[in-house]
Every structure is written in C-alpha cells, then in structure tokens.
Amino acid sequence: VFAFVVQFFRDPPRPIPQGAKDVLSPADGRIVAIEPVRDPYLDRDCVKISVFMNVFNVHSNRIPVDGEVKQRWYNAGRFVNAALDKASVENERNALHLVTRDGQDVTCVQVAGLVARRILCYVEPGAKVARGQRYGFIRFGSRVDLYLPPGTRARVTIGDKVSASSTILAELP
C-alpha cells in the first residue's frame, strides 16, 4: 500500500517544448477523444482533446499554454468512469479559461473519475501562467479535457500515450 501511494503521488520533472503555438499535454495518460464540439464554458465551436489518467499515471496537472487565467469554474457532480464521454458533463470538474499571449482561448478542464474524490487547483483568475507549470492535482483516476480554437491541428491520435508538459498535443492556428 505504501509503495502504491508513493508511486501515485510522484511528480517528476519533465522537459518542456517551447514552440509558440504548441499545446502541451496537461496530464499523463491516454488520448480518449479528439473531436469537434461546442465548448460548454465559452459557448464556442472548438476542438476537444481528452486525456484519461488511470491510477498508475502521474496525476499532477500542468498548464498547456503560456498565458493568463481569465476565469475559473467549479462544478460539483457525480463520479462515473472518467474514460466515458459523459464524465465531461456529469462528473465533478474544475475548468480554467486561459488566454494565450497572442489572444487564443483555451479551456482546460480537470474531471474527477470513478474513484477520484478530490480535485485540487492552485491558480486563480488573473494569474500569469507558463506552459508546464504545475497547476493542480486529481486523486485516483480522472481525465483532463482541452477545448481548443477551431483550426487547431491535433498532433496525437486516439489511443496515444502522453506525458504531462513533454508531449505536444496540438498546434494552435
């Protein structure tokens, strides 16, 4: 049990790519969705990329782009399996509206999973953030959804394994 807990709460340093238009993975895990959808927070058309974290992944969440936190929303909710699409709208979640230095809107949503019962977020509106910066943590299995501007080009495919802050998920238009 001790080894599992130590393994779960690890938070290793990672290399951080510096491409100006690169969107970095906010979490370790597996890509479970890449699709055009409507951003439920900013009410806009967008590209959604979702990363599912199982209990063996690092659960520290990282900022995907350089910019500023404009808004933060928290929604209490259920705890269904985070690998399912309905988790994005039914589960407990914490969303950040980030605006990049060149004015692109990015919504980054922490979603609690079946076992997860606690989402931590360390940033507030007005905070200047940098790609790769640790901004939160979700305990025991969950997902992170990114809502990106139309014209964003995905650089991953469904099923790919990704690492927080070192994997480039997409390129902004």
d(CA 107, CA 70): 10
Q: Is the pLDDT of residue 64 over 80?
A: yes
Longest C-alpha distance within the chain, in Å?
Answer: 46
Q: How confident is the model at residue 147 (pLDDT cuts 50, 70, 90)?
A: very high
Return the closest-CA partner of residue 77 out of 13, 143, 15, 122.
Answer: 143
d(CA 95, CA 72): 6
d(CA 42, CA 51): 20
Return the closest-CA partner of residue 64 out of 139, 152, 160.
Answer: 152
**Is residue 69 a contact partner of residue 98, using CB atoms and an 8 Å limit?**
yes
Rounded mean pLDDT, 22-26 = 97
Q: How confident is the model at residue 135 (pLDDT cuts 50, 70, 90)?
A: very high
pLDDT, position 137: 86
Identify the residue whose tokens are 């080894």. 3
**Is residue 7 a contact partner of residue 39, using CB atoms and an 8 Å limit?**
no
Q: Could you say which of 50, 88, 142, 163 is catalytic?
A: 142
Active site residue 142: yes
Residues 49-61 have pLDDT tens digits of 999 988 777 778 9
pLDDT, position 3: 67
| pTM, entire model | 0.89
pLDDT, position 40: 96
pLDDT, position 5: 59
